Amino acid sequence: MHAVFLDQQTFSANIELAEIKKHVHALTCYPLTQANEVIERALDADIIITNKVILSEEVLSQLPQLKLICIAATGINNVDIAAAKKRNIAVTNVSGYAKNSVAQYVFAQMLEYFSQVNHHNSNVEQGLWQQSPSFCFHGNGSVELAGKTIGLVGYGNLAKSVERLALAFDMKVLIAERPNASSKRSKRVAFDEVIKQADVLSLHCPQTPDTENLINTDVLQKMKPSAMLINTARGAIVNEQDLLTALNNNEIAFAALDVLNQEPPSPNHLLLTNQPKNLKITAHIAWASIEAQQRLINLLAKNISDFNADKLTNRVDV
């Protein structure tokens, strides 16, 4: 079995591929692959490993040797699953690898915002404490997480890891039901109630036609003016123009985004050229602790091993 990894550069350079190599006869890695390079690079491959490279029906129709697509992520929207199934090409994904990494990121953003650690460090660096007539220099102060309400939109492994940390901080956790749902599942709270009550709204749902632009003007205006929004899911879940307007009008207090609708963003991206002080943006790294990346690679290796053993592990085409 010959495998090609079409976009290895989406992982850190020090991530080890040894586990994958154990289960294939040959592994060819490319840093990145453009759309016009996919067919040439994958023509002799039995297995394609892709994080974000798009595999359309047109591409798959020209890869007669292909037997398995290993998506190096949880999201599967870069592969035409129906086209793969029609050609008897198995498709797998991975999940659960980033739950600790994402939860840590969410709380890093929350703790920075509520505890103002960088601000207080800067006060000392600027000599403000040294000039204080009192034993402490309060600056912007800090606010406890205990007693605050965090609303979770989506309730998979990532959100459940955030929930565990939130409970350890004595926060109240509300799990949002789908908007406009006709009934409520166990432990769920109506979507509108969650967004109205949340001091922090953390997004963990997949991008689907139902969730695109989920966070829009209507939702943002229902949130508390003191609320914080965190998006580690997908950029398209948030309407970026509506968010910019809400932040500039102080309809919500703060937003931390790890994802944008366009990735990587263009230099003139709306939120980068007009970035207000109450918006922080990171480069889609919440998932990417060294441990999480290695865990993901090892899960890919298991998917290949189980495919070779005729097991349906993590299959998304069945």
Angle, alpha carbons 188-194-198 (nearest 5°): 130
Which residues of the chain carry a pLDDT beneath 50?
none
For the chain, domain boundaries: 2-97+290-308, 99-281
pLDDT, residue 142, reads: 93
234 is catalytic: yes
Name the pTM for this structure.
Answer: 0.90
Nearest partner of 102 among 231, 287, 285, judged by Cα: 287
Q: Both tokens of residue 188?
A: 């769920």
269 is catalytic: no
pLDDT, residue 40, reads: 97
Q: Both tokens of residue 57?
A: 């029906």
284 is catalytic: yes
Could you say which of 163, 234, 240, 251 is catalytic?
A: 234
Question: How far apart are alpha carbons 46 and 101 in whole angstroms?
Answer: 32
pLDDT, residue 3, reads: 98
Looking at the domain that runs over 2-97+290-308, which CATH code has it been given? 3.40.50.720
Which CATH topology does 99-281 take?
Rossmann fold (3.40.50)
pLDDT, residue 1, reads: 92
pLDDT, residue 183, reads: 87
pLDDT, residue 77, reads: 87
Could you say which of 284, 291, 295, 315 is catalytic?
A: 284
Could you say which of 263, 291, 295, 315 is catalytic?
A: 263
pLDDT, residue 181, reads: 86
Question: How far apart are alpha carbons 119 and 178 in whole angstroms?
Answer: 37
Same CATH topology for 2-97+290-308 and 99-281? yes
Q: Both tokens of residue 205?
A: 């749902």
